[in-house]
Homo-oligomer: A and B are copies of this chain.
Amino acid sequence: MSAGVSTLRTARAEGAATDPAAMTGAEAAAQIARGALSVEELARAALARTDRLEPMVRAFSWLDRDRILRRAREADKPRAGKGPRGGLHGLMLAVKDMIDTADMPTQHNSPLYIDHRPGQDAAVVAICRAEEALIVGKADTHEFASGGRLAASRNPHDLAHTPGGSSSGSGAAIAAGFAHLALGTQTGGSVLRPASFCGIFGMKPTWGTVSQEGAKLYAVSLDTMGWYGRSVGDLALMAQATRAVRRPVKPRKTLRGTRIGLCRTPWWETGSDAMKAATERAAVLLRDAGATVVDFDLPEGFEQLNDMQNKVMRGEGRAAFLADYLRHGTRLHQDFRDRVEDADAIGWEGLRRAQDFCAACRPRFDAAMQGWDALLVPGALGAAPRDLTTTGDPMFQRAWTALHVPCIGLPGFADANGMPLGVQLIGPRHADAELLELAAAAARALGAAAVNPVDPTEPRP
């Protein structure tokens, strides 16, 4: 490949794993269903990795390994007469630590919420429990998922690099094999950016299809629940469990007959050479696999979407932090006081214009997508920065969040340093099932139908 872009070293085919520690959630679920693997074995394999690597990776803000084993053993007990197992039975799930859990703290990585214990699960957590996921712990997050204190998590591919954010620990936990599935949230780029940086699969479903109740709200017209896994099958399991999709996902066997727009976006030139090369390479691979891949330009005016998304986020964010502002004053991090005080001077009119602009773009995007199955876009600006004081830039995520459309992050590439480079597939609103079905075939075409967990190496000198 060009510009020093190569295949991601953790990429593999699906169904190839025999080691429980390497299985994707979907692979493990199949093994458990046929009685070839117990939930306890699966949990022990993940816990062994966690025991060994978590001190370096720091994905979790809260973890109780003994409880995980007790629950795993409980999950293996026969359940006479209780009907079929839940869709996430036995799979280990990490929950971003700004989503409430009734039986674990929810600390938001904020000094103001140390050992904070809400008395109830967030809606999505209750849903995952009802589907029998094994919730393993709370994944570290950028403070309140929006600013302030960075997560302590590091990129398992190279610990000197950020895993991205704000869903930092969620991405890291999946990449390192500490859990099969992880919940994140996206208001700007906080699910899909870590997916690209950490070389894993990520999904942001259509806005509004999964309840935000019990998660820290930031900008209500943008906030979207999302998730990670190590294959499209994992993403589909979560999409089905949460009813983001309302029919079974039937992965496409081939890309023949599909029409994919290569959308460099107005921000293409800000991307690194390696990311551009990875995106162009992905287009070639998809075309080789039978898809029609043709250049696609966003409709006129869409180049303003990043700026408009930012205004909506900060403008709606004024309401999000007022309670803590009044309660804690200057103990609240400046970033959040700035939101309350409208330090960016967005103003009400600026907010309205931005909200109305984003809203008007949504039906225009759907119309532009007539005849197209998906867009192929860069996964992020580049590989994860070698810098633990940043989470990177959501330049290639903001617009899709504002458009409310489903996004799937596929791994497969790496730069000259072996750091992951992913791509995104974007669909029209509510075409989440179709997008998953196409993404399954696309992932195979990219040579990364699944990824193995990665063992962190010491940072390069």
List the interface of chain A (C-beta within 8 A of B): 116-121, 123-124, 126-127, 130-131, 208-213, 216-217, 220-221, 242-243, 246, 316, 318-320, 322-324, 326-327, 340, 342, 348-349, 351-352, 355-356, 359-360, 362-363, 366, 429-430
Contact = CB atoms under 8 A, between A and B. Distances in A.
Contacts of A362: 352, 355-356, 359
A119 to B, nearest CB: 4
A344 to B, nearest CB: 14
B211 A217 contact: yes
A92 B349 CA distance: 34
Contacts of A342: 246
A417 to B, nearest CB: 41
A349 B211 contact: no
A318 B210 CA distance: 9
Given A124-B323, A212-B217, 12 more contacts: A118-B120, A119-B119, A126-B326, A127-B322, A130-B326, A211-B320, A211-B322, A212-B220, A213-B320, A242-B322, A349-B430, A360-B360
A383 B416 CA distance: 73
A403 B299 CA distance: 26
A213 B211 contact: no
Nearest to A221: B221
A123 B323 contact: yes
B327 A130 contact: yes
Contact of A322 (B120, B123, B340, B363): B123
Contacts of A319: 123, 208-211, 243
Nearest to A118: B119
B429 A348 contact: yes
A206 to B, nearest CB: 8
A348 B119 contact: no
Nearest to A225: B319
Nearest to A359: B359
A363 B124 CA distance: 33
A430 to B, nearest CB: 4
19 contacts: A118-B120, A119-B120, A121-B323, A123-B319, A126-B327, A127-B323, A130-B323, A211-B323, A213-B320, A220-B220, A221-B221, A348-B429, A351-B430, A352-B362, A355-B362, A356-B359, A356-B363, A359-B359, A359-B360
